[in-house]
Structure 1
Protein backbone atom coordinates (compact mmCIF):
# COMPACT_ATOMS: atom_id res chain seq x y z
CA UNK A 1 0.00 0.00 0.00
CA UNK A 2 2.85 2.36 0.86
CA UNK A 3 4.46 1.70 -2.52
CA UNK A 4 1.21 2.59 -4.33
CA UNK A 5 0.89 5.82 -2.33
CA UNK A 6 4.51 6.73 -3.05
CA UNK A 7 3.98 5.97 -6.73
CA UNK A 8 0.80 8.13 -6.81
CA UNK A 9 2.58 11.06 -5.12
CA UNK A 10 5.51 10.75 -7.54
CA UNK A 11 3.16 10.74 -10.56
CA UNK A 12 1.22 13.76 -9.23
CA UNK A 13 4.49 15.63 -8.59
CA UNK A 14 5.69 14.86 -12.13
CA UNK A 15 2.38 16.10 -13.59
CA UNK A 16 2.48 19.28 -11.48
CA UNK A 17 6.08 19.93 -12.50
CA UNK A 18 5.24 19.39 -16.18
CA UNK A 19 2.28 21.80 -15.89
CA UNK A 20 4.66 24.55 -14.71
CA UNK A 21 6.79 24.45 -17.85
CA UNK A 22 6.95 27.76 -19.70
CA UNK A 23 9.28 29.71 -21.96
CA UNK A 24 10.97 32.97 -21.13
CA UNK A 25 11.04 35.57 -23.88
CA UNK A 26 14.45 36.15 -25.49
CA UNK A 27 16.46 39.24 -24.57
CA UNK A 28 14.99 42.36 -26.18
CA UNK A 29 17.33 44.14 -28.59
CA UNK A 30 16.22 47.52 -27.15
CA UNK A 31 16.64 46.91 -23.46
CA UNK A 32 14.81 48.97 -20.85
CA UNK A 33 16.83 51.37 -18.73
CA UNK A 34 16.28 53.98 -16.04
CA UNK A 35 17.74 57.38 -15.27
CA UNK A 36 17.33 59.11 -11.92
CA UNK A 37 17.90 62.60 -10.57
CA UNK A 38 19.80 62.85 -8.37
CA UNK A 39 21.67 59.93 -9.88
CA UNK A 40 22.76 58.38 -6.58
CA UNK A 41 19.34 58.73 -4.92
CA UNK A 42 18.33 55.11 -5.46
CA UNK A 43 21.80 53.78 -4.64
CA UNK A 44 21.95 55.31 -1.15
CA UNK A 45 21.20 53.21 1.90
CA UNK A 46 17.75 53.40 3.45
CA UNK A 47 19.14 55.25 6.47
CA UNK A 48 20.34 58.10 4.25
CA UNK A 49 16.71 58.90 3.33
CA UNK A 50 17.77 59.86 -0.18
CA UNK A 51 14.80 59.90 -2.53
CA UNK A 52 14.76 60.59 -6.24
CA UNK A 53 13.22 63.78 -7.56
CA UNK A 54 12.85 62.52 -11.14
CA UNK A 55 12.83 59.04 -12.67
CA UNK A 56 12.69 58.19 -16.37
CA UNK A 57 12.04 54.73 -17.85
CA UNK A 58 12.90 54.13 -21.51
CA UNK A 59 14.10 51.52 -23.97
CA UNK A 60 17.49 51.92 -25.65
CA UNK A 61 17.54 51.18 -29.40
CA UNK A 62 20.84 51.09 -31.27
CA UNK A 63 21.65 52.87 -34.53
CA UNK A 64 23.40 49.82 -36.04
CA UNK A 65 24.97 51.93 -38.77
CA UNK A 66 21.66 53.51 -39.76
CA UNK A 67 21.00 57.24 -40.00
CA UNK A 68 18.64 57.98 -37.13
CA UNK A 69 17.19 61.50 -37.27
CA UNK A 70 15.57 62.33 -40.58
CA UNK A 71 15.57 58.67 -41.65
CA UNK A 72 14.93 55.91 -39.07
CA UNK A 73 13.06 58.55 -37.05
CA UNK A 74 11.56 60.84 -39.71
CA UNK A 75 11.48 64.57 -39.08
CA UNK A 76 8.05 65.92 -38.19
CA UNK A 77 6.71 62.64 -36.74
CA UNK A 78 5.84 61.93 -33.08
CA UNK A 79 8.57 59.81 -31.48
CA UNK A 80 8.35 57.84 -28.24
CA UNK A 81 11.99 58.74 -27.39
CA UNK A 82 13.23 55.20 -27.52
CA UNK A 83 11.74 51.87 -28.51
CA UNK A 84 8.98 49.55 -27.32
CA UNK A 85 6.76 51.18 -24.68
CA UNK A 86 6.63 54.95 -24.66
CA UNK A 87 9.15 56.70 -22.43
CA UNK A 88 7.70 57.58 -19.03
CA UNK A 89 8.91 60.27 -16.66
CA UNK A 90 7.94 60.53 -13.00
CA UNK A 91 8.27 63.75 -11.03
CA UNK A 92 8.33 63.14 -7.27
CA UNK A 93 7.77 66.87 -6.65
CA UNK A 94 6.14 69.62 -8.68
CA UNK A 95 8.44 70.90 -11.45
CA UNK A 96 8.56 73.70 -13.96
CA UNK A 97 8.94 72.39 -17.49
CA UNK A 98 8.76 74.56 -20.59
CA UNK A 99 7.78 77.50 -18.38
CA UNK A 100 4.74 75.69 -16.92
CA UNK A 101 4.25 74.27 -13.42
CA UNK A 102 3.71 70.51 -13.69
CA UNK A 103 2.23 68.59 -10.72
CA UNK A 104 4.13 65.63 -9.29
CA UNK A 105 3.13 62.44 -11.07
CA UNK A 106 3.92 60.10 -13.96
CA UNK A 107 3.69 61.23 -17.58
CA UNK A 108 4.70 60.03 -21.03
CA UNK A 109 7.44 61.97 -22.81
CA UNK A 110 7.33 62.29 -26.60
CA UNK A 111 9.23 64.45 -29.09
CA UNK A 112 8.77 65.61 -32.65
CA UNK A 113 12.34 65.93 -33.94
CA UNK A 114 13.11 68.44 -36.68
CA UNK A 115 16.46 69.50 -38.07
CA UNK A 116 16.42 72.93 -36.38
CA UNK A 117 14.25 72.22 -33.29
CA UNK A 118 12.57 69.45 -31.34
CA UNK A 119 9.08 69.86 -30.00
CA UNK A 120 8.93 68.14 -26.62
CA UNK A 121 5.57 66.76 -25.46
CA UNK A 122 4.53 65.83 -21.93
CA UNK A 123 1.38 63.71 -22.07
CA UNK A 124 -0.97 62.42 -19.34
CA UNK A 125 -1.54 59.02 -20.94
CA UNK A 126 0.81 56.31 -19.66
CA UNK A 127 1.36 52.64 -20.47
CA UNK A 128 1.27 53.11 -24.24
CA UNK A 129 3.25 51.25 -26.87
CA UNK A 130 5.24 53.71 -28.90
CA UNK A 131 3.47 56.60 -30.57
CA UNK A 132 0.64 54.37 -31.77
CA UNK A 133 -1.68 55.18 -28.88
CA UNK A 134 -0.59 58.80 -28.68
CA UNK A 135 -3.56 61.10 -28.00
CA UNK A 136 -2.79 64.79 -28.56
CA UNK A 137 -5.81 65.80 -26.45
CA UNK A 138 -3.96 64.40 -23.40
CA UNK A 139 -0.94 66.73 -23.86
CA UNK A 140 -0.02 68.63 -20.70
CA UNK A 141 2.51 70.87 -22.45
CA UNK A 142 4.48 71.27 -25.67
CA UNK A 143 7.65 73.32 -25.91
CA UNK A 144 10.72 73.53 -28.14
CA UNK A 145 14.37 72.75 -27.50
CA UNK A 146 17.36 73.16 -29.77
CA UNK A 147 19.15 70.02 -31.03
CA UNK A 148 22.95 70.15 -30.81
CA UNK A 149 25.80 68.14 -32.28
CA UNK A 150 27.55 65.57 -30.09
CA UNK A 151 31.33 65.58 -29.98
CA UNK A 152 31.33 61.76 -30.07
CA UNK A 153 29.01 59.28 -31.77
CA UNK A 154 26.45 57.58 -29.47
CA UNK A 155 25.44 54.15 -30.82
CA UNK A 156 22.62 53.46 -28.36
CA UNK A 157 20.02 56.00 -27.26
CA UNK A 158 21.10 57.38 -23.89
CA UNK A 159 19.44 59.59 -21.31
CA UNK A 160 21.12 61.27 -18.33
CA UNK A 161 20.43 64.14 -15.95
CA UNK A 162 22.96 66.92 -15.42
CA UNK A 163 22.56 68.83 -12.14
CA UNK A 164 21.73 72.53 -12.36
CA UNK A 165 21.35 75.14 -9.61
CA UNK A 166 17.56 74.89 -9.47
CA UNK A 167 17.03 71.36 -10.82
CA UNK A 168 18.46 69.37 -13.69
CA UNK A 169 18.75 69.17 -17.44
CA UNK A 170 17.35 66.00 -18.98
CA UNK A 171 19.86 65.15 -21.73
CA UNK A 172 18.77 62.85 -24.57
CA UNK A 173 21.53 61.74 -26.96
CA UNK A 174 21.70 59.40 -29.91
CA UNK A 175 23.82 59.10 -33.03
CA UNK A 176 25.39 62.58 -33.39
CA UNK A 177 22.55 64.62 -31.83
CA UNK A 178 21.49 65.60 -28.34
CA UNK A 179 18.96 67.89 -26.69
CA UNK A 180 18.82 69.33 -23.20
CA UNK A 181 15.48 69.80 -21.46
CA UNK A 182 15.70 72.13 -18.44
CA UNK A 183 13.64 70.99 -15.43
CA UNK A 184 13.24 73.25 -12.39
CA UNK A 185 12.33 71.52 -9.14
CA UNK A 186 9.63 73.41 -7.21
CA UNK A 187 10.01 73.71 -3.46
Structure 2
Protein backbone atom coordinates (compact mmCIF):
# COMPACT_ATOMS: atom_id res chain seq x y z
CA UNK A 1 0.00 0.00 0.00
CA UNK A 2 0.97 3.61 -0.32
CA UNK A 3 1.32 3.96 3.43
CA UNK A 4 3.79 1.08 3.59
CA UNK A 5 6.41 3.03 1.66
CA UNK A 6 9.30 4.27 3.73
CA UNK A 7 11.41 7.33 3.21
CA UNK A 8 15.09 7.68 3.90
CA UNK A 9 15.87 9.51 7.14
CA UNK A 10 17.13 13.08 7.00
CA UNK A 11 20.74 13.15 5.93
CA UNK A 12 23.33 14.23 8.48
CA UNK A 13 25.06 16.27 5.75
CA UNK A 14 22.29 18.20 3.99
CA UNK A 15 22.70 19.22 0.37
CA UNK A 16 23.05 22.90 -0.46
CA UNK A 17 23.53 25.08 -3.53
CA UNK A 18 25.70 28.12 -4.13
CA UNK A 19 24.95 30.40 -7.08
CA UNK A 20 26.65 33.21 -8.89
CA UNK A 21 25.18 35.75 -8.81
CA UNK A 22 24.25 34.82 -5.25
CA UNK A 23 20.54 35.63 -5.59
CA UNK A 24 20.11 34.02 -9.05
CA UNK A 25 17.95 31.24 -7.57
CA UNK A 26 15.39 33.89 -6.56
CA UNK A 27 15.01 35.36 -10.06
CA UNK A 28 11.47 33.98 -10.49
CA UNK A 29 10.07 36.26 -7.79
CA UNK A 30 12.69 38.97 -7.24
CA UNK A 31 13.05 41.82 -9.74
CA UNK A 32 16.39 42.78 -11.20
CA UNK A 33 18.08 39.44 -10.53
CA UNK A 34 20.37 38.03 -13.20
CA UNK A 35 20.28 34.54 -14.63
CA UNK A 36 22.70 32.16 -12.91
CA UNK A 37 26.15 31.86 -14.44
CA UNK A 38 27.64 29.28 -12.06
CA UNK A 39 26.09 26.83 -9.59
CA UNK A 40 27.68 24.45 -7.11
CA UNK A 41 25.70 21.61 -5.53
CA UNK A 42 27.34 20.09 -2.47
CA UNK A 43 26.66 18.38 0.84
CA UNK A 44 27.52 20.23 4.04
CA UNK A 45 29.10 17.93 6.62
CA UNK A 46 29.74 19.20 10.15
CA UNK A 47 33.01 19.04 12.05
CA UNK A 48 31.36 17.88 15.31
CA UNK A 49 34.55 18.42 17.34
CA UNK A 50 36.62 16.43 14.83
CA UNK A 51 39.83 17.47 13.11
CA UNK A 52 39.30 18.22 9.45
CA UNK A 53 42.67 16.96 8.22
CA UNK A 54 44.87 14.07 9.25
CA UNK A 55 48.35 12.94 8.30
CA UNK A 56 47.71 9.23 8.91
CA UNK A 57 45.38 6.59 7.49
CA UNK A 58 43.53 6.42 10.84
CA UNK A 59 40.11 8.05 10.32
CA UNK A 60 39.95 8.84 14.04
CA UNK A 61 42.69 11.44 13.48
CA UNK A 62 40.58 13.55 11.08
CA UNK A 63 37.93 13.58 8.39
CA UNK A 64 40.17 13.58 5.33
CA UNK A 65 43.86 13.02 4.74
CA UNK A 66 46.39 15.50 3.44
CA UNK A 67 47.62 14.55 -0.02
CA UNK A 68 44.60 12.35 -0.82
CA UNK A 69 41.67 13.25 -3.10
CA UNK A 70 38.61 14.49 -1.21
CA UNK A 71 35.08 15.01 -2.50
CA UNK A 72 34.81 18.57 -1.10
CA UNK A 73 31.74 17.69 0.90
CA UNK A 74 29.94 14.50 1.78
CA UNK A 75 27.79 11.94 0.05
CA UNK A 76 27.33 12.64 -3.68
CA UNK A 77 30.16 14.20 -5.64
CA UNK A 78 30.21 17.99 -5.50
CA UNK A 79 28.87 19.37 -8.78
CA UNK A 80 30.00 22.47 -10.65
CA UNK A 81 27.59 23.75 -13.31
CA UNK A 82 28.98 26.37 -15.66
CA UNK A 83 26.23 28.10 -17.63
CA UNK A 84 28.85 29.62 -19.94
CA UNK A 85 32.43 28.90 -20.93
CA UNK A 86 34.99 29.86 -18.29
CA UNK A 87 38.72 30.09 -17.82
CA UNK A 88 39.88 28.07 -14.82
CA UNK A 89 43.61 28.35 -14.34
CA UNK A 90 44.96 28.52 -17.89
CA UNK A 91 42.30 26.20 -19.33
CA UNK A 92 39.14 27.19 -21.17
CA UNK A 93 36.38 24.99 -19.73
CA UNK A 94 33.22 24.62 -21.81
CA UNK A 95 29.81 25.32 -20.28
CA UNK A 96 28.50 22.13 -18.69
CA UNK A 97 28.37 19.91 -15.60
CA UNK A 98 31.52 18.82 -13.80
CA UNK A 99 32.47 17.26 -10.50
CA UNK A 100 34.91 18.88 -8.08
CA UNK A 101 37.48 16.86 -6.17
CA UNK A 102 40.14 18.52 -4.00
CA UNK A 103 43.56 17.24 -2.95
CA UNK A 104 44.48 19.28 0.14
CA UNK A 105 47.91 19.90 1.61
CA UNK A 106 48.86 22.13 4.51
CA UNK A 107 49.64 25.06 2.19
CA UNK A 108 47.42 24.61 -0.87
CA UNK A 109 44.38 22.80 -2.19
CA UNK A 110 44.44 21.35 -5.68
CA UNK A 111 41.03 21.55 -7.36
CA UNK A 112 40.29 18.83 -9.93
CA UNK A 113 37.46 19.85 -12.26
CA UNK A 114 36.39 16.51 -13.70
CA UNK A 115 34.02 15.43 -16.48
CA UNK A 116 32.74 12.45 -14.45
CA UNK A 117 29.34 13.21 -12.88
CA UNK A 118 26.80 11.67 -10.54
CA UNK A 119 29.29 9.74 -8.45
CA UNK A 120 29.42 9.07 -4.75
CA UNK A 121 32.20 10.94 -3.01
CA UNK A 122 35.47 10.80 -4.86
CA UNK A 123 35.34 7.03 -5.37
CA UNK A 124 34.55 7.49 -9.05
CA UNK A 125 37.25 10.15 -9.55
CA UNK A 126 39.33 9.23 -12.55
CA UNK A 127 42.28 11.66 -12.83
CA UNK A 128 42.45 11.05 -16.58
CA UNK A 129 39.01 12.75 -16.83
CA UNK A 130 40.21 15.95 -15.12
CA UNK A 131 39.41 18.83 -17.45
CA UNK A 132 41.63 21.14 -15.43
CA UNK A 133 43.67 20.90 -12.23
CA UNK A 134 44.47 24.12 -10.37
CA UNK A 135 46.23 24.67 -7.03
CA UNK A 136 45.27 27.60 -4.82
CA UNK A 137 46.71 28.72 -1.47
CA UNK A 138 44.90 27.80 1.72
CA UNK A 139 44.43 30.44 4.41
CA UNK A 140 44.06 29.66 8.09
CA UNK A 141 41.74 32.06 9.90
CA UNK A 142 40.52 32.52 13.48
CA UNK A 143 36.78 32.25 12.80
CA UNK A 144 35.74 28.62 12.51
CA UNK A 145 32.90 27.41 10.28
CA UNK A 146 31.16 24.31 11.67
CA UNK A 147 29.65 23.12 8.38
CA UNK A 148 31.44 23.06 5.04
CA UNK A 149 30.42 26.24 3.23
CA UNK A 150 30.77 27.38 -0.36
CA UNK A 151 29.91 30.80 -1.73
CA UNK A 152 30.73 32.69 -4.90
CA UNK A 153 31.40 36.37 -5.40
CA UNK A 154 33.11 38.76 -7.79
CA UNK A 155 35.73 40.80 -5.90
CA UNK A 156 35.82 43.50 -8.59
CA UNK A 157 32.23 43.19 -9.88
CA UNK A 158 33.48 41.94 -13.23
CA UNK A 159 33.61 38.57 -14.99
CA UNK A 160 35.98 37.02 -12.41
CA UNK A 161 34.14 34.90 -9.86
CA UNK A 162 35.79 33.44 -6.77
CA UNK A 163 34.50 30.07 -5.60
CA UNK A 164 35.21 30.45 -1.88
CA UNK A 165 35.34 27.40 0.36
CA UNK A 166 35.41 27.46 4.14
CA UNK A 167 35.41 24.73 6.74
CA UNK A 168 36.84 24.82 10.21
CA UNK A 169 39.64 27.37 10.14
CA UNK A 170 40.51 26.80 6.46
CA UNK A 171 39.61 29.04 3.51
CA UNK A 172 40.38 28.78 -0.19
CA UNK A 173 39.34 30.76 -3.25
CA UNK A 174 39.32 29.36 -6.78
CA UNK A 175 39.14 32.11 -9.44
CA UNK A 176 36.84 31.41 -12.40
CA UNK A 177 36.85 33.87 -15.30
CA UNK A 178 33.53 33.84 -17.17
CA UNK A 179 33.81 34.18 -20.97
Matches within 5 A, 1:4-83: 18-19=1-2, 21-45=4-28, 50-70=34-54, 71-83=62-74
Residue pair 1:78, 1:112 contacting (<8 A) in 2 also: yes
Name the structure where helix makes up a greater proportion of residues.
Answer: 1
How far, CA to CA, are the matches of 1:64 and 1:133 in structure 2?
A: 27
- Kindly report structure 1 stretches of 4+ aligned residues shifted beyond 6 Å: none
C-alpha separation in 1, matches of 2:47 and 2:2: 41
| Shift in alpha-carbon separation, 1:144–1:25, aligned structure 2, 3 A | same
Task: Quote the Cα distance in structure 2 between the aligned partners of 1:166 and 1:140.
Answer: 21
Unpaired runs of 5+ in structure 2?
A: 55-61
**Aligned equivalents of 1:131 and 1:80: distance in 2?**
5
CA-based RMSD of the aligned residues comes to: 1.5
Per the normalisation by structure 1, the TM-score is 0.86
Alignment match, 2:172: 179
CA distance in 1, matches of 2:12, 2:92: 36
Unaligned runs of 5+ in 1: 1-17
